[in-house]
Amino acid sequence: MYSIMKAKNEAMKDEVKDFTQDLIKIPSISLNEKKAAEFICGKMKQLGYDETFIDDIGNAVGVIRGRDPEPAIILNSHIDTVSPDEEKWSMSPFRGIIEGGKIFGAGASDCKGGLAAQIFAGALLKRSLLPMRGSLVVAATVAEENGCSVGLKKLVSSTLPSLGIKADYAILGEPTGNGLYYGHDGWVELNVHIEGVNPFQVSDAARTINSDLSLVSTIRNTIASEEDMEIGRPVFNDNSGFRSADMRISKRLRSSDSPEGAISWLNHEVAVLTQNEKNVSVEVTVMSENQKLYNGSRSVVKRVTNSWQTDPYSPLMQRARQSLSAAECEVRTGKWNLGKLGMGTAGSVLLDEFKIPVIGYGPGNEDSAHRADEYVILEKIYESVYGTASIAHGIAGIPVCGWTSDEI
Amino acid sequence: MNIISISQNISKLEFALFDGTCGEPSARGEIMNWMNTGSDGIPEMISACFTKSLRNQNRMFSANLICIRVPYGGQEFKIPELLSSNSLDKLKKIENAAPMHIPALLALIVSLKKYFRGTPISLVFETSFFTRLPARESSYAIDPGLSKEISLQKFGYHGILHERSYEYCHEKDKGISKTISICLEPIPEICAVKNGIPVMVTGGSTPLEGLPGETTCGDIDPLIILSLSENLGWGPEEINKTLSRKSGIYGLTGKKMDFAKLFSADDPVAKFAKELILYKMLLASGSAVAALGGVDAVVFSGRYRELGGQIYDYLSSNLSCFPEKHEILPDHLLKLTAAAGITALLKKSKSH
C-alpha cells in the first residue's frame, strides 16, 4: 500500500508544485478569498473528489465518500492570509517565486502549502485506489486570520450537517514542519477605555498604563514574561466635554487562562495603576469587529483565540503517530510556539466549541508565518501530501491487513 | 480463438495470448508496478506487446476473449464468471475483503472494456474452489455472529492450481481420489483434495494465514499481534507491514530471497529458514493426510514447482503414508486462467 502511495505521490509532484504556486499568485487576504476559493474548488473537482462546492459562507469544500458515513475526518486549512507588508518583502508576495527548493509568497507557510498538501492528500488516496470506510472532507475555509474562524464555524455547524456528515476528527494544515502538533496557547485583544472630565488625568492614566503595565505585571508575577503582552499606544478622543482614551492590549492565554480571567486581571492591574487618578473611569472589554465577508455576509467577531490542547495520548494522536510510522515518515510531536501574539489556529473552535478532536500536520514553518519573505519548502509539501494521506487512511480508510504481500 | 489471459498481482501484471488453450502462448509479457501508474495505459501496453510478438510470426493481433485471474472473489464468486453488471456489483460488495486488489481490478476492467470494446471478459477467481470447503474447515472457532459480521471465513488463494492438480492426477489414474496439492508460489499453500472437493487448506481469512512465505509470516499465535500493539505501540499498518512484508524468508534471513535461492543457499541462517519452512510444510502435509484419511497422490505446482523433488524427499522421509513418487503439474497459471475463462464463456453461451 505505502509503495503505491509513494509512487503516486512522486508522480504528482509537479502538479502539487504548480497548484501551490498558482494559489499563492491569487491574493486571498482575509475577507477577500473569492477567487482563491473558486480556484480551489475547481482543482478539487478536477482531481476527482466526489463532491465539490462553495458553501454559503464562501468555504471551498471537497468530499470523498466512503462506504459508511463514519468516521468522518476533516482536513482543514484556511484560504486567507494576513495582508503582507510589501515594503518589507524582498520580492513580490504574490508571484510564488521558487528559489532553492522553497516557494515564497504571502501565506506560503500559513497555510497555502498546507492547503495544497491536504487537497492532494485526498487525490493521492483516490489515485492509489484505496477504498475509504468513512468520509474525507477537505475544507478550505475563509475568514480565519481576521475572522476568528467564522468560516470554520459555519462549516461545522451548517455545511457538514447539510451533507449528512458529522466530523469525528480534524487535521489542521497549519505550519508544523510536518510535526504532529496538538495545541497552542491562546491570546485575547482587550480594549482599555479611559474616560474623565479632566483631560490631564485621562492622559496621565493612559500614559501610566502604557508605560508601567508590562513592568508592574512582570514584577508582580501576574504575567509570565513581557512577551506575553503587547500594549498599543493610547488613542485620545475629545467629545461633549469629556476626554477619553482607548488602548489595545493583547495578552497571551496560557492553558489555564480564559478571556474572562484576562479581563479581571487587567481590570485589577489598571485599577492599581490609576488609583491616584480619582476622577477617571476605566473599562476593559474584549475587542470585537464587524466584518463583511467576500460573499457579502456580515458577522461580529471577538478578537479571542483560546488556548487548546488535544490529549497527546488520544486515539487521534495515537493513530496519527502509528500511521506515520508505518508509512516511514518522521514522527515528531509538539505544540505551536505562537511567537507573535495574534497568531493562532482554529483548534480551540473545533475542540472546545464542537468537541472534535483535532491535531495539526502541515508543511509550513511557523517562524516564517506572517512575516516578510514567507516561504514553504517544496519537499515538505510533497512529504505532507503523503503523510496526510497516510493518517487519513489510518483513520478512515479500509484496512488492508493481510493483503499487502506482493504476489498471491 | 485468441484469448488474452491476465494475472493480477500487486507488484506486476502478467499476460499471455493463447490461440485456444492447447498449446503454449503465442506471446506473453508483464508490466511491473502497474498499480503505481494506473490502469489507463495498460490495454495499449498489452496490445503493443502482442502486436510486436505476432508481427515476428507474420500474424495479426486480435482478441476474442479476455480472461482475468483474480486473487479473491469471496463467497460471491463460486465459479468463473463472464463479466456483467451483476458481477461488477458483486465485486464492489467484496471490496473491503481485498482492498488492494478489487479496486485495482475494477479500474483495470474499465480500461480493458474501453480499449477492447465488445470483447467479452471472464473473471477467474482463486478462491472459487474453496467455496466448497466443508464448514468445519472454513470456519473459525469463534462466535459465529462475529464471524458473519466481519466476513471471517477461511479460503485458499491458489485454487486454480490446486483444482487443476487434482484433475491432472485423476486424469492420469482414475483411481486417485485423495490428492495433496502443494503449490510453490511466493506464498506457498497446501491443499487436500478428495474427489475433486477441497477438504483442507493452509490459507485463511487472508493470504497471511498458513505456511511462511517469501515475506509473509504464516501461522502465528494471534496474541503476538496484541503484544506488538501493546508492547511496541504499533498500529495495524505497522503490524501488517511487518507480518506480510518483512517476515517469512526475509524475516528469518534478513535478505530478500525467493524459494529457489533459499533452497540453493549454503549459509546457516538460510539453512535454518529452509528447515523451518520444510518443517511447517511437513506439519501441514500431515494435517492434509489426516483430513483425507490417507493419500493417493502428491502434486507440486506453481513457479517453484521444480523444487518439488527436494521437498517431496523430505516429506516422504517423514510421512510413511506418502505415495512412492510425486507429480509435477506442467500447466502454467495463465493457461489455466484462459481455460477456466473459456468455460465461463461457453456456459454463458449455452444458457442463452
- Contact of B242 with chain A, judged by CB distance below 8 Å, is answered with no
Decide if A38 is inside a domain.
yes
Chain A contacts in chain B segment 257-296 (CB below 8 A): none
Does one domain contain both B340 and B310?
no
Does one domain contain both B93 and B163?
no
- Contact of B107 with chain A, judged by CB distance below 8 Å, is answered with yes
Decide if A318 is inside a domain.
yes
Instruction: Kindly report, residue by residue over B133-142, the tens digit of the pLDDT.
Output: 999 999 999 9
CB contact under 8 A, B100 and A400: yes
Chain A contacts in chain B segment 126-185 (CB below 8 A): 126, 157-158, 185
For A284, the domain range is 186-290
- Contact of A401 with chain B, judged by CB distance below 8 Å, is answered with yes
Does one domain contain both A175 and A197?
no
Does one domain contain both A325 and A369?
yes
Distance CA A186, CA A209 (A): 23
Contact indicator for A73, A392 with CB cutoff of 8 Å:
yes
Peptide bond preceding A71: is omega within 30 degrees of 0, i.e. cis?
A: yes
Half-sphere exposure in the Cβ direction for B138 (13 Å, CA): 20
Residue A397 or A339, more confident: A397
Does one domain contain both B55 and B185?
no
Distance CA A122, CA A130 (A): 11
Which of A129, A133, A399 comes nearest B103 by C-beta? A129
Residues of chain A contacting residue B100, judged by C-beta atoms under 8 Å apart: 1, 400, 403-404
Q: What is the pLDDT of residue A405?
A: 63
Contact indicator for A49, A137 with CB cutoff of 8 Å:
no
The answer to which of A84-88, A364-368, B34-38 has the lowest mean pLDDT is B34-38
Q: How distant, in Å, are the alpha carbons of A36, A48, A156 from that of A55?
A: 14, 19, 11
For residue A88, give the DSSP letter. Answer: G
Does one domain contain both A123 and A246?
no
Kindly compute the dihedral angle of the four CA atoms of residues A219, A223, A229, A235, in this order, to the nearest 10 degrees: -70
Based on the structure, what is the number of domains in chain B?
2
Does one domain contain both B341 and B293?
no
Q: What is the pLDDT of residue A406?
A: 63
Q: Give the distance from residue B55's alpha carbon to the nearest chain A alpha carbon, in angstroms.
A: 31
Which of A4, A129, A405 comes nearest B215 by C-beta? A405
Decide if A227 is inside a domain.
yes
Which of A8, A401, A407 comes nearest B236 by C-beta? A401
- Contact of A65 with chain B, judged by CB distance below 8 Å, is answered with no
Q: Which residues contact B348 (CB under 8 A, 6 or more apart)?
A: B82
The answer to which of A39-48, A323-332, B184-193, B339-348 has the lowest mean pLDDT is B339-348
ipTM of the complex, rounded to two decimals: 0.83
CB contact under 8 A, A7 and B100: no
Q: Give the distance from residue B257's alpha carbon to the nearest chain A alpha carbon, in angstroms.
A: 13
Contact indicator for B66, B112 with CB cutoff of 8 Å:
yes
Q: What is the pLDDT of residue A268?
A: 87
Coil, helix or strand at residue A256: coil
Pick the last residue of a domain from A258, A290, A322. A290
Helix (H) or strand (E) holding A246: strand A242-253
Overall size of chain B counted in residues: 352
Q: Does residue A219 have a pLDDT over 90?
A: no
Decide if A299 is inside a domain.
no
- Contact of B236 with chain A, judged by CB distance below 8 Å, is answered with yes
What backbone torsions phi and psi does residue B328 show, to the nearest 5 degrees?
-125, 125
Instruction: Kindly report, residue by residue over B40-86, the tens digit of the pLDDT.
Output: 899 999 999 999 988 888 888 889 999 999 999 999 999 999 999 99
Does one domain contain both A44 and A167?
yes
CB contact under 8 A, B101 and A403: yes
Does one domain contain both A176 and A192?
no
Does one domain contain both B171 and B274?
yes
Based on the structure, what is the number of domains in chain A?
2
Decide if B143 is inside a domain.
no
Does one domain contain both B305 and B164?
yes
Percent of residues, chain A, with pLDDT higher than 90: 62
Instruction: Kindly report, residue by residue over B254-276, the tens digit of the pLDDT.
Output: 999 999 999 999 999 999 999 99
Instruction: Kindly report, residue by residue over B214-232, the tens digit of the pLDDT.
Output: 999 999 999 999 999 999 9
Distance CA B83, CA B111 (A): 14
Q: Using alpha carbons, select from B207, B205, B217, B195 the residue that is nearest to residue B280.
A: B217
Q: Does residue A143 have a pLDDT over 90?
A: no
Does one domain contain both A178 and A317?
yes
Does one domain contain both B283 and B217?
yes
CATH number reported for the structural domain that contains residue B69 in this entry: 3.30.420.40
CB contact under 8 A, B9 and A408: yes
Decide if B286 is inside a domain.
yes
Decide if B104 is inside a domain.
yes
Decide if A258 is inside a domain.
yes
Does one domain contain both A152 and A194?
no
For B90, the domain range is 2-125+333-351
Distance CA B77, CA B132 (A): 11
Decide if A344 is inside a domain.
yes
Does one domain contain both A11 and A135?
yes
What backbone torsions phi and psi does residue B30 show, to the nearest 5 degrees?
-150, 150
Pick the last residue of a domain from A290, A315, A349. A290
Does one domain contain both B191 and B286?
yes
A378-396 vs A113-127: helix crossing angle, rounded to 10: 50
For A10, the closest chain B residue by CA position comes to: B36
- Contact of A4 with chain B, judged by CB distance below 8 Å, is answered with yes
The answer to which of A218-222, A305-309, A312-316, B343-347 has the lowest mean pLDDT is A218-222
Decide if B221 is inside a domain.
yes
Sign of CA dihedral B64, B70, B73, B79: positive
Instruction: Kindly report, residue by residue over A224-239, the tens digit of the pLDDT.
Output: 666 788 888 889 887 7
Are β-strands A242-253 and A229-231 bridged in parallel, bridged antiparallel, or unpaired?
A: antiparallel
Q: Give the distance from residue A262's alpha carbon to the nearest chain B alpha carbon, in angstroms.
A: 40
Which of B37, B103, B158 comes nearest A131 by C-beta? B103
Helix (H) or strand (E) holding B53: helix B42-56
CB contact under 8 A, A400 and B99: yes
Percent of residues, chain B, with pLDDT higher than 70: 99
Does one domain contain both B94 and B164?
no
Q: Does residue B352 have a pLDDT over 70?
A: no
Mean pLDDT of chain A, nearest integer: 91
Decide if B302 is inside a domain.
yes
Decide if B177 is inside a domain.
yes
Does one domain contain both A276 and A324?
no
Does one domain contain both B174 and B289?
yes
- Contact of B186 with chain A, judged by CB distance below 8 Å, is answered with yes
Q: Using alpha carbons, select from A86, A142, A154 the residue that is nearest to residue A115.
A: A142
The answer to which of A385-394, B49-58, B100-109 has the lowest mean pLDDT is B49-58
Q: What is the pLDDT of residue B21?
A: 63
For residue B126, give the DSSP letter. Answer: T
Decide if A403 is inside a domain.
no
Does one domain contain both A136 and A115?
yes
Q: Give the distance from residue A205's alpha carbon to the nearest chain B alpha carbon, in angstroms.
A: 59
First vs last C-alpha separation in chain B: 20
The DSSP secondary structure of B1-35, one letter per residue, reads -EEEEEEE-SSEEEEEEEESSSS--SEEEEEETHH
Instruction: Kindly report, residue by residue over B118-157, the tens digit of the pLDDT.
Output: 999 999 999 999 999 999 999 999 999 988 888 889 999 9
Instruction: Kindly report, residue by residue over A36-67, the tens digit of the pLDDT.
Output: 999 999 999 999 999 999 999 999 999 999 98
Question: B307-336 burial, b if ≥16 CB within 10 A, otherwise e?
Answer: bbeebbebbbeebeebbeebbbbebbbbbb
Does one domain contain both A339 and A392?
yes
Pick the last residue of a domain from A233, A258, A290. A290
Q: Model pTM?
A: 0.87
- Contact of B110 with chain A, judged by CB distance below 8 Å, is answered with no
Q: What is the pLDDT of residue A180?
A: 97
Q: What is the pLDDT of residue A222?
A: 67
Does one domain contain both A160 and A33?
yes
CATH number reported for the structural domain that contains residue A91 in this entry: 3.40.630.10
Distance CA A344, CA A348 (A): 9
Instruction: Kindly report, residue by residue over A263-277, the tens digit of the pLDDT.
Output: 998 888 888 888 887
Does one domain contain both B174 and B120?
no
Decide if B139 is inside a domain.
no
Decide if B138 is inside a domain.
no
Q: Which residues contact A38 (CB under 8 A, 6 or more apart)?
A: A54, A60
Q: Number of CB pairs < 8 Å for A and B?
A: 118
Decide if A406 is inside a domain.
no
What backbone torsions phi and psi does residue A76 show, to the nearest 5 degrees?
-125, 130
State the average pLDDT over residues A103-115: 96
State the average pLDDT over residues A181-197: 91
CB atoms within 10 A of CB A110: 30
Does one domain contain both B306 and B347?
no
Q: What is the pLDDT of residue B346?
A: 87
The DSSP secondary structure of A117-167, one letter per residue, reads HHHHHHHHHHHTT--BSSEEEEEEESS-TTTTTHHHHHIIIIIHHHTT---
Distance CA A253, CA A184 (A): 9
Q: How distant, in Å, are the alpha carbons of A127, A194, A224, B73 from that of A216?
A: 59, 19, 12, 75
